[in-house]
Amino acid sequence: MAKPRILPDKSGKPLYVLLTVEEYAKLTGASKAASQNKSGKAAVAGKRPVGRPSSGKGVVTPIRVQRERLGLSQAEVARRLGMTQGGYAVIEKSLNPRAATVSKVAKALGVSVAKLSA
């Protein structure tokens, strides 16, 4: 099981914790099915739900969630993809990346394409 990741705010104070659906269900006592929405994807609570802009100041996308869950930096993923960190950051913030791009990122992260689909 992956170690939960703490996401800080701009000042460095803990703001969010990323958990897998299984970890969430274990902590809350909810069944895995109860912790998912109608589409079968994990429900996310908080001010910045996955794949949605937050007051125009950033996006938490499935690609970012998986990268952070794995404890990788943007620079490391960019290196694996053979691109710059800035170029990768654009991909990571995209709400609708191309299928070919998602496939390449999934391979670089070592996860399935389904885990990167919102």
Q: What is the pLDDT of residues 77-110, one digit of tens each?
A: 999 999 999 999 999 988 889 999 999 999 999 9
Query: Could you tell me the two tokens for 39?
Result: 């589409």
The mean pLDDT value for 24-41 works out to 58
The mean pLDDT value for 1-14 works out to 73
Which of 19-28, 51-60, 109-118 tops mean pLDDT? 109-118
Residue 4 has pLDDT above 80, yes or no: no
pTM of the model: 0.54
* Integer Cα distance of 46 and 50 in angstroms: 9
99-105: long-range pairs with CB below 8 Å, 24+: 102/63, 105/63, 105/77, 105/81
**pLDDT tier, 22 (very low <50, low <70, confident <90, very high otherwise):** confident
What are the start-end ranges of the H helices in the chain? 21-28, 62-69, 74-81, 85-93, 99-109
The identity of residue 111, as a single letter, is V
The mean pLDDT of the chain is: 76
Query: Could you tell me the two tokens for 44?
Result: 């996310």
Residue 31 has pLDDT above 90, yes or no: no
Name the residue among 87, 80, 79, 89 with its Cα closest to residue 110: 80
Query: Could you tell me the two tokens for 92?
Result: 């990571």
Residue 47 has pLDDT above 90, yes or no: no
